[in-house]
Structures are given as structure tokens and as C-alpha cells.
Homo-oligomer: A and B are copies of this chain.
Amino acid sequence: MLVRGKADRASRPNLLGDLDIPSGLSASVGISEFTYRKGQEVYSENDPAEYVYQVRKGAVRRYKLLSDGRRQIGAFHLSGDIFGLENALVHRLSAEAVVETSVRLFKRQSLENGAETDANVFHRLLSMTTKNLRHAEDHMLLLGRKSSVEKVAAFLLEMDGRLTSAGLLSLPMGRRDIADYLGLTLETVSRAVNQLQREAVLKFIGKTHREIVILDRLRLSSFDIPG
């Protein structure tokens, strides 16, 4: 299962509040760092939820599997994002590095202790959980009711909003991951992306077709039907 860096050396509470990263969460104590190779497992569903993670660099996919191997990715976590916070004893989804990824990690326990005594800490726990819930609610609408092109358009716009590197979308994940996030097959994702490219809504930059420039954001938004 999981190998890990050096982890925790908790000494006092002082949790959550000394990071410069938006919605940052940290402990000035009890932190350690770790780097996962591409494809490496961070934790598996039902593993004890011992740590909470913050992505420093790279990307993580969190997913559930059916017993016959079908996979649903519930979320991608990019630089700055926190994941693995379950408010429970075990993880409900598995997590893997999409590319080489380094994370900060710290003990869940120290967070919970902090929450008991510090309303501020508790407020952040609630706020992060609520953010995940909101994302899940939006994603249910996408999964249940959108067409393949609408799904892909929504995905590109979501990533465009999160991977802000000045006009260039540089996707860390491949077609398979996108498909499992959107409830499609990789072929259908490929066809949808290439359809958008043929229609001059976007264009590819690199040769891997993971670097994308959005040419017509308005038209792309028109595929991402508003609620």
C-alpha cells in the first residue's frame, strides 16, 4: 500500500492559517512533504484516513471503482488544492498521482484536535467540505444530463478556470482520465475535442494534444449549457 515520506512531528495545535495559498490549510507543525511518481497511489478507498494532503505541484485524481473495473473519477486536484479530508475514519475514494506530484501532508488527527478547540479551524473544515459538495452537485448534473460535447466543453472551461497559465490550457491528464471523469469513453472524448478543434473553438499547441488554446470561449460556453 502506501509508502510515505517522513510525516508528522506534531507538537502543538496551531493549525490552519499560515499559508499563502488560497483556501490554504496547514499546520506549522506536523507537516511533511512527499513526491509521488506518475500513476502512483496516494491512498486507496477504505484505507484509514490518516493524512490530509495539499498539492504543491502536479495533479491527483480521486476515483471510485466498480468491481468489474469501471472507474468514475470524482475530482481532479491541482496545485494548491487540498484533498483527502474525509471527516471520517477511512477514505471514500482512492487517490493517485496523474503526473509526478508533490504534496504536503499532515495528520488528520491534529486537524480534528484543532477543530475541537478552534472555531476558525472548524469553519475551514466545513468550508472545504462544502466546496467539495458543491462540485459534486454540479458534476451530478453533468454526468446525468449532458451530452458528450457538453461534458467536454464543461471540462475544458473548468480546467481553464483552474489551470490559469495565460491562455494556454496545459492538461496534466490524458483522454482516459478525462473520459472517466465525464462518464464517457476515451474515444468519445477524443472525437468531441477534435470536433471542437475542427469547428475552430480551440486549437492544439503541442504535439501531444494536451496543450490547448481556446479560440472561441463564447462558443465553448454555449456548449456548456447554463443551469
Contacts and interface: CB of A to CB of B under 8 A. Distances in A.
A139 B140 contact: yes
Nearest to A181: B144
A72 B145 contact: yes
Interface in A44-86: 45, 64-68, 70-72, 74, 86
A145 B71 contact: yes
Main secondary structure of the interface of A (DSSP, over half): helix
Interface string A125-138: 11101101110111
A134 B45 CA distance: 13
A143 interface: yes
Interface residues of A, number: 46
A180 to B, nearest CB: 8
Contacts of A141: 64, 66, 72, 74
Nearest to A125: B126
A121 B126 CA distance: 12
Given A66-B146, A67-B225, A115-B119, 19 more contacts: A45-B227, A64-B138, A66-B141, A68-B225, A70-B145, A70-B225, A72-B145, A86-B130, A87-B126, A88-B130, A92-B134, A119-B122, A122-B122, A126-B126, A129-B129, A132-B133, A133-B133, A139-B140, A145-B183
